[in-house]
A and B are shown apart, each in its own frame.
Chain A
Amino acid sequence: MLNKYLEELCLLCAASGNEKAVREYICENIKHYADSIKIDPLGSVIAEKKGRKQSPKKLMISAHMDEVGLIITYINDDGTMQIAPVGGIDASVVIGRPVVVGDNNINGVIGAKPVHLLNSNQRKELPKFSELYLDIGAKNKKQAEELISLGTYVHFLPSFNIIGDIKVCSKALDDRIGCAIMLELIKEEIPYDVTFAFLVQEEVGLRGAKAAAFSVNPDIAIVLEATTAADISGANGDAKVCSLGNGPVVSFMDRSTIYDRELYNLAFAECKRMDIPCQTKTRIAGGNDSGAIHMSRGGVRTIAVSAPCRYLHSPSSVADLNDIQNCLKLTKAMIEKAVEI
Chain B
Amino acid sequence: MNLLEILDNLSSVDGVSGNENNAGMTALSLLKKYCPDAYIDKMGNVIGNIYSNDKKAPHILLDAHLDQVGFIVTSITEEGFIKVGNVGGLDMRLMPAQNVIIHGKKAINGVIASIPPHLSGDEQKVLDITDLLIDTGYSKSELSEIISLGNRVTFDTPFMKLANECIAAHSLDDRCGIASIIYALELISDNEIPYNLTVLFSSQEEVGECGAETAVYNINPDIAIAVDVSFALSHNDDPIKCGKINAGPMIGISPTLSKEISDSLIDTAKSNNIPWQTEIMNGTTGTNADRFSVSRGGVKSCTLSIPLRYMHTPSEIISVTDVQNTGKLLAEWIRRSVSC
A248 → chain B closest CB, angstroms = 18
Contact of A88 with B118 at beta-carbon distance under 8 Å, contacts A113-B237, A165-B138 already known:
yes
Nearest chain B residue, comparing its CB with the CB of A91:
B93
> B117 and A88: CB pair below 8 A?
yes
Q: Mark A68-107, 1 if CB is under 8 A from B, else 0.
A: 0000000010101000000011101101111000000011
Q: Mark A105-137, 1 if CB is under 8 A from B, else 0.
A: 011111111111110000111110001010111
> A108 and B162: CB pair below 8 A?
yes
A269 interface residue (CB < 8 Å to B): no
Q: Which of B77, B81, B99, B126 contacts A315 (CB 8 A)?
A: B99
- The 7 A-B pairs of least Cβ separation, nearest first, read A164-B137, A137-B162, A314-B97, A137-B166, A163-B137, A167-B137, A96-B94
A230 interface residue (CB < 8 Å to B): yes
Nearest chain B residue, comparing its CB with the CB of A68:
B117
Q: Which of B99, B138, B165, B166 contacts A169 (CB 8 A)?
A: B99
> B137 and A114: CB pair below 8 A?
no
A89 → chain B closest CB, angstroms = 7
B120 interface residue (CB < 8 Å to A): yes
Query: Which residues of B in the span 158-176 have a Cβ within 8 Å of any Cβ on A?
Result: 158, 160-166, 168
> B158 and A98: CB pair below 8 A?
yes
Q: Interface residues of B, CB < 8 Å — how many?
A: 66
Contacts of A233 in B (CB 8 A): 77-79, 81, 113, 133
Tell me the complex Cα distance, A163–B99, Å.
11
Contact of A124 with B126 at beta-carbon distance under 8 Å, contacts A115-B312, A117-B231, A143-B164 already known:
yes
B51 interface residue (CB < 8 Å to A): no
> B118 and A90: CB pair below 8 A?
no
Stretch at the interface among A57-65, A211-219, A290-298, A305-313: A305-313
A150 interface residue (CB < 8 Å to B): no
Nearest chain B residue, comparing its CB with the CB of A316:
B111
Q: Mark B202-246, 1 if CB is under 8 A from A, else 0.
A: 000000000000000000000000000001011111100100001
- Beyond the given A98-B168, A112-B93, A116-B231, could you list 18 further A-B residue pairs with CB under 8 A, ordered by the A residue number? A80-B235, A90-B117, A98-B158, A98-B315, A112-B310, A113-B237, A114-B310, A115-B312, A123-B92, A124-B92, A126-B93, A137-B319, A163-B109, A167-B137, A230-B119, A232-B113, A314-B114, A318-B137
> B116 and A228: CB pair below 8 A?
yes
> B81 and A232: CB pair below 8 A?
yes
Chain B CB within 10 A, most for which of A117, A167, A230, A233: A233
